[in-house]
């Protein structure tokens, strides 16, 4: 269960306590002769073929390259094949390998179970396929061992990362990243990479507040950590896609979107105690450049922004439908749609700039309109595509049917427009530049 490897170098000095005698959450790790410094969890479900090579390769790397004691914990997620038997054999073969069996599936559940019970001061996990190059492991955990950072993540979306994977997964990852930045204002770059680490003292405070037990677990943990003012270290990784991945992309995406909505609501309503966590973790003095606390809630005025955006959206939709009906009496459907959208897009961008996001003055107004038209292009694609699809599925559809289709398409476009406005067009950093 525990490692038998002596540290090759002496441990770094511990961090100074905070005022009032509270230990610093960034105090450096103090290794001893019995406790492993690092516990690497490998969650598995029906991986009897890949588990053995994974653990053997990981064990060789840690033995040769990691300067402290370590443990590899195989977390079996209710496998129905020989995975548990393979794991037990590895446990018998290596002193540094431990096995935990769970009767229920869920990567998040497995990580919570092992991390909560572990005695190691630094906790990590990686996928069994070892898609990430192991040379990134030491850079991942080093800032946690030294006390510099609280969490660390591997990023496949960094400019210096070298990634080999299909276009579909690349597009999904980047779209998910845009959604997180637009809705939860996340600043980390890759929530889904199966290569992360966390300090045990931080995990002890955050894990009880993380509800998800599956794939959204990572995102929820990172958002909570970021909102609590914790430092997240990112490591560019070399990553090769596993062609045998059995993840249900559609089901996972739907679950992730539900998780985003749940966490966003919890942050906006104050259900997640981020202010209390900042005080307990010594982050109460973290403020933005303007002096306002930038870690509280989803964003300043988020609820008001949503309400104002919704009202402007309703008004814009009504205006669009009226203009479309007016133009439609003399022009084809696609031309009427284009003219109505251009007019309402300009008015919508101007109204949201001033009323929703509180930006006044002429500075960057022209740029905002140009970018607003780019966002409008998305609405044009959706609405025009909807009309074209309607014409294929139901030639000669009535005007009322056209309006119904356009209302649905506009609703989807409106949601995406808010994300684009908030994360790009009217982002505070871009407006102050």
CA distance 79 to 47: 8
Contact yes or no for 112/217 (Cβ under 8 A):
yes
Residue 234's DSSP bridge partners are: 153
Structure tokens at 370: 């140009």
Q: What are phi and psi of 84, to 5 degrees?
A: -65, -40
Rounded to an integer, what is the distance from CA 413 to the centroid of its chain? 22
Contact yes or no for 115/98 (Cβ under 8 A):
no
CA dihedral 315, 316, 319, 325 (to 10 degrees): -130
**What is the crossing angle of helices 137-146 and 51-65, to 10°?**
50
Rounded to an integer, what is the distance from CA 300 to the centroid of its chain? 20
The secondary structure of 78-111 as a DSSP string is: S-SSSHHHHHHHHHHH-TTEEEEEESS--HHHHH
Contact yes or no for 314/346 (Cβ under 8 A):
no
CA distance 356 to 245: 42
CA distance 278 to 146: 21
CA proximity to 356, closest of 415, 292, 313: 313
The secondary structure of 196-253 as a DSSP string is: EEEEHHHHHHHGGG----STTHHHHHHHHHHHTT--EEEEE-EEE--TT----HHHHH
Going by the DSSP 8-state scheme, the letter that residue 134 receives in this structure is: G
Instruction: Indicate which residue of 218, 238, 241, 293 is catalytic.
Output: 218
Report CA torsion sign: 226, 188, 77, 117. Answer: negative
Q: Respond yes or no: is residue 218 known to be catalytic.
A: yes
User: Radius of gyration over alpha carbons of the chain, in Å?
Assistant: 25
Active site (catalytic) residues: 218
């Amino acid at each position: 269960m525990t490692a038998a490897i002596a540290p090759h170098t002496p441990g770094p000095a511990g961090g100074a306590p905070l005022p009032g005698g509270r230990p610093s959450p960034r105090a450096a790790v103090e290794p001893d002769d019995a406790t492993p410094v690092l516990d690497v969890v490998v969650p598995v479900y029906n991986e009897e073929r890949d588990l053995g090579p994974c653990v053997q390769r990981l064990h060789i790397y840690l033995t040769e390259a990691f300067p402290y004691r370590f443990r590899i914990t195989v977390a079996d997620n209710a496998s129905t094949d020989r995975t548990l038997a393979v794991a037990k054999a590895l446990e018998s073969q290596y002193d540094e390998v431990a096995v935990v069996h769970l009767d229920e599936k869920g990567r998040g559940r497995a990580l919570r179970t092992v991390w909560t019970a572990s005695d190691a001061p630094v906790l990590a996990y990686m996928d069994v396929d070892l898609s990430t190059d192991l040379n990134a492991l030491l850079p991942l955990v080093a800032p946690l061992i030294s006390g510099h950072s609280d969490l660390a993540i591997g990023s496949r979306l960094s400019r210096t990362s070298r990634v080999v994977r299909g276009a579909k997964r690349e597009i999904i990852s980047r779209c998910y990243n845009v959604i997180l930045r637009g809705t939860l204002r996340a600043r980390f770059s890759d929530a889904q990479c199966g290569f992360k680490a966390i300090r045990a003292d931080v995990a002890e405070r955050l894990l009880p507040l993380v509800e998800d037990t599956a794939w959204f677990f990572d995102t929820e943990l990172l958002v909570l950590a970021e909102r609590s003012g914790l430092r997240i270290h990112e490591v560019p990784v070399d990553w090769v896609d596993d062609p045998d991945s059995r993840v249900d992309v559609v089901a996972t995406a739907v679950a992730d979107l539900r998780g985003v909505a749940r966490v966003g609501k919890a942050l906006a309503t104050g259900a997640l105690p981020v202010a209390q966590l900042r005080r307990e973790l010594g982050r109460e003095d973290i403020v933005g450049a303007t002096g306002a606390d930038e870690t509280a809630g989803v964003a300043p005025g988020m609820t008001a922004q949503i309400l104002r955006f919704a009202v402007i959206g309703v008004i814009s939709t009504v205006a669009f439908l009226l203009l479309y009906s007016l133009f439609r009496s003399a022009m084809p459907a696609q031309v009427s749609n284009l003219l109505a959208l251009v007019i309402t897009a300009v008015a919508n961008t101007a109204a949201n700039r001033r009323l929703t996001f509180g930006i006044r003055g002429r500075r960057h107004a022209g740029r905002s309109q140009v970018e607003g038209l780019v966002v409008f292009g998305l609405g044009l694609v959706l609405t025009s595509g909807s009309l074209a699809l309607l014409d294929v599925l139901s030639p000669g559809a009535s005007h009322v049917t056209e309006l119904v289709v356009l209302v649905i398409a506009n609703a989807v476009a409106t949601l995406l427009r808010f994300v684009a406005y908030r994360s790009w067009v009217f982002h505070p950093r871009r407006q102050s530049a």
